[in-house]
């Protein structure tokens, strides 16, 4: 499709708006370059799914991971599934429904999500007419429904249009359940508010009808929310540690796109906007060190071990020719979610292409972690991004340990037992000081990194330093998280 209008310039002009090689469990001391920690689950790698944006991934109680997102052509609703996250990369995709030849669902199809509502599989999505000109961004929310129990084999047909509170630009719908009540959340241009879109929630009466007037949870007003366009959209919900968190995305869909966070006590009235607290700063944004630009429109799932996973899209380059909305390279990406001392999710930075990184925590001192700050290697309570490392295969069953913020560096051992960060391409191959064998560690659930260069020695924690120690010493046991 070649449309002269950007959906947001149009809306504004009309006043309409705006691995890692985690180890398999084996006999202690065995060097294993395995797949994920769950022996049956291969290690996922970013980008997880090329050219799929706004991606929803969830693990259904049938054991399948389902994934849907916007395709670059915006012309079809495509679903894929896999028994593992890694399997989604190459999983066969089924086209459930294509835009129509004419009418309100014949143009763009944006941000589809699959939900199981009252015993039916339903896909919600934003759609527009195809007439070109000013009508092409008359975006509204619709749903199609499956006639059978398997969304990959059933027949899909139009269910209808979401009955929005206003007849205006609306998109990015999702469904969540909180304390037994099913809610609809979406982004919409509200008459009388000069933004492209704000985020709303409301309880649902049925698949397309709200049970009450909406609560307006966030309006783009902060500087990082109004870069290029005044946008709050792409809401997603996570109930953890006694709070309900809502992430959303803001600004133009180029490198300025980023994520915000609201939170509310899980026992509060979530329909009262005054109960929600909004982060004054973005919680996830472009990271040049890891080469991920414009991360956003996220969803949440869990990995094969039940650990929280952030799903989002992002490009691996910054400069875009033309309208970002028609650039195809917003790829689906995933990474672990960690939590701070107050139980609030810490998304850190987008971790970049390659295996999903880990943190390495001394088994004998769990308040600190291996960390890289510039050229300084330490064991400390450093910020999350400094503590994320990839163990990258280095041949003959060995790995290099590479910090995500300095991917040109790796750990290197010295004859004196010191361990440093060194450029990956110049560390002496002869001494193999940069290579380690990842082994089952000396304590339950731990790993050990045995030095290739210095037999009988392994990476160890000593005070605030990483050093080499005898490979039976308790200090060589690391928890990989």
Asked if 332 is part of the footprint of ligand AHR (rule: CB under 6 A), the reply reads no
In whole angstroms, how large is the CA radius of gyration of the chain?
Answer: 24
- Compare residues 136 and 468 and give the one whose CB is closer to ligand AHR: 136
115 and 124 in contact (C-beta within 8 Å)? Answer: yes
Asked if 329 is part of the footprint of ligand AHR (rule: CB under 6 A), the reply reads no
- Compare residues 58 and 360 and give the one whose CB is closer to ligand AHR: 58
- Select which of 54, 190, 304, 358 is catalytic: 54
Site for ligand AHR in 47-106 (CB under 6 A): 53-54, 70
Q: How far is the CB of 347 from ligand AHR (least distance, A)?
A: 18
Asked if 172 is part of the footprint of ligand AHR (rule: CB under 6 A), the reply reads yes
Q: How far is the CB of 74 from ligand AHR (least distance, A)?
A: 7
233 flagged as catalytic: yes
42 and 86 in contact (C-beta within 8 Å)? Answer: yes
Q: How far apart are CA 454 and CA 414, in angstroms?
A: 8
Q: How far is the CB of 409 from ligand AHR (least distance, A)?
A: 35
Q: How far is the CB of 2 from ligand AHR (least distance, A)?
A: 16
Handedness of CA 283, 285, 291, 297 (dihedral sign): positive
Q: How far is the CB of 171 from ligand AHR (least distance, A)?
A: 5
Asked if 439 is part of the footprint of ligand AHR (rule: CB under 6 A), the reply reads no
92 flagged as catalytic: no
The one among 233, 433, 439, 471 contacting ligand AHR by CB under 6 A:
233
Half-sphere exposure of residue 392: CA atoms within 13 angstroms, side-chain side? 19
Q: How many residues bind ligand AHR (CB under 6 A)?
A: 12
Site for ligand AHR in 294-313 (CB under 6 A): 297
Binding mask 109-148 for ligand AHR (x = CB under 6 A): -xx--------------x----------------------
Q: How far is the CB of 100 from ligand AHR (least distance, A)?
A: 18
- Select which of 172, 233, 304, 471 is catalytic: 233
The one among 96, 144, 171, 244 contacting ligand AHR by CB under 6 A:
171
The one among 234, 282, 295, 385 contacting ligand AHR by CB under 6 A:
234
Site for ligand AHR in 249-278 (CB under 6 A): 253
- Compare residues 297 and 437 and give the one whose CB is closer to ligand AHR: 297
- Compare residues 46 and 332 and give the one whose CB is closer to ligand AHR: 332
Q: How far is the CB of 230 from ligand AHR (least distance, A)?
A: 12
Binding site for ligand AHR (CB under 6 A): 53-54, 70, 110-111, 126, 171-172, 233-234, 253, 297
Catalytic residues: 54, 233
């Amino acid at each position: 499709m070649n449309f002269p209008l950007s959906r947001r310039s149009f809306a504004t002009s009309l006043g309409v708006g705006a691995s890692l090689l985690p180890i398999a469990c084996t006999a202690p001391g065995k060097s294993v370059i395995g797949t994920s920690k769950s022996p049956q689950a291969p290690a996922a790698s970013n980008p997880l799914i090329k050219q799929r944006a706004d991606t929803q991934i969830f693990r259904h109680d049938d054991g399948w991971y389902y994934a849907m997102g916007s395709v670059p052509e915006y012309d079809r609703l495509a679903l894929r599934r896999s028994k593992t996250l890694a399997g989604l990369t190459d999983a066969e995709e089924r086209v459930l429904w294509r835009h129509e030849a004419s009418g309100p669902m014949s143009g763009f199809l944006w941000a589809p999500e699959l939900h199981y509502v009252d015993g039916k599989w339903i896909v919600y999505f934003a759609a527009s007419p195809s007439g070109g000109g000013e009508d092409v961004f008359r975006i509204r929310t619709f749903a199609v429904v499956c006639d059978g129990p398997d969304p990959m084999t059933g027949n899909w047909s139009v269910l209808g249009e979401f009955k929005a509170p206003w007849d205006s630009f609306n998109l990015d719908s999702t469904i969540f359940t909180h304390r037994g009540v099913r809610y609809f959340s979406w982004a919409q241009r509200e008459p009388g508010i000069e933004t492209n879109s704000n985020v709303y929630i409301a309880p649902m009466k049925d698949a397309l009808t709200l049970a009450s007037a909406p609560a307006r949870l966030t309006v783009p007003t902060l500087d990082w929310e109004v870069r290029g366009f005044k946008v709050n959209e792409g809401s997603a919900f996570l109930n953890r540690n006694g709070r309900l968190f809502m992430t959303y995305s803001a600004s133009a869909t180029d490198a300025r796109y980023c994520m915000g966070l609201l939170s509310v006590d899980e026992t509060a009235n979530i329909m009262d906007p005054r109960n929600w607290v909004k982060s004054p700063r973005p919680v996830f944004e472009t990271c040049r060190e890891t080469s991920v630009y414009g991360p956003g429109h996220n969803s949440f799932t869990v990995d094969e071990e039940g650990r929280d996973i952030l799903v989002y899209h992002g490009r691996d380059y910054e400069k875009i020719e033309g309208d970002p909305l028609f650039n195809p390279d917003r790829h689906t990406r995933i990474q672990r979610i960690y939590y701070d001392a107050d139980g609030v999710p810490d998304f850190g930075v987008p971790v970049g292409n390659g295996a999903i990184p880990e943190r390495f925590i001394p088994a004998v001192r769990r308040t600190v972690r291996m960390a890289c700050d510039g050229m300084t290697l330490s064991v400390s309570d450093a910020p999350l991004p400094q503590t994320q490392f990839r163990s990258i295969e280095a041949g003959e069953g060995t790995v290099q340990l590479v910090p995500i913020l300095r991917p040109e560096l790796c750990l290197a051992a010295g004859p004196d037992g010191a361990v440093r960060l060194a450029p990956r391409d110049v560390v002496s191959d002869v001494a193999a000081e940069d290579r380690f064998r990842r082994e089952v560690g000396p304590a339950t659930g731990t790993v050990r990194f045995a030095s290739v260069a210095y037999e009988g020695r392994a990476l160890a924690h000593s005070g605030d330093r990483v050093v080499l120690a005898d490979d039976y010493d308790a200090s060589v046991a690391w928890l990989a998280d």
